[in-house]
Amino acid sequence: MKICVSDELMYVKIELEKRGYEILEWNHKENCDALICNLKSGGLTNFIHESNVKKEGILIIDMGSKSIDEIEYILNNRIYSSII
């Protein structure tokens, strides 16, 4: 799975790389299976306006207050639900 993580979430990039995920630079969104960003800070603004980006089938995860374990659960299951 190829994951794009917005630049301001460097700690998320580092932790996911440690766990073996392939992290692409934010400007390579057209190749991503999942995007992780902070929606409250406008994380998808540039994504929405780019015409070369596939708009279907990409898992978009709002980092919000989620832990790395919660993010990994969402990535593995492609769903948002409680991990407890």
Give me the domain span that covers residue 47: 2-77
Sign of the four-CA dihedral 44, 50, 53, 57: positive
Does 82 map to a domain? no
Residue 33: the pLDDT is 86
Give dist(CA 33, CA 56) in Å, integer: 10
Q: Quote the tokens at residue 72.
A: 């990994």
Does 27 map to a domain? yes
Does 30 map to a domain? yes
Does 83 map to a domain? no
Global pTM?
0.78
Q: pLDDT tens, position by position, for the chain (84 residues)?
A: 889 898 889 999 999 999 999 998 877 656 788 889 888 776 666 555 554 456 677 888 999 889 999 999 999 987 655 444
Residue 83: the pLDDT is 46
Q: For the chain, what is the domain count?
A: 1
Residue 19: the pLDDT is 96
Does 51 map to a domain? yes
Does 45 map to a domain? yes
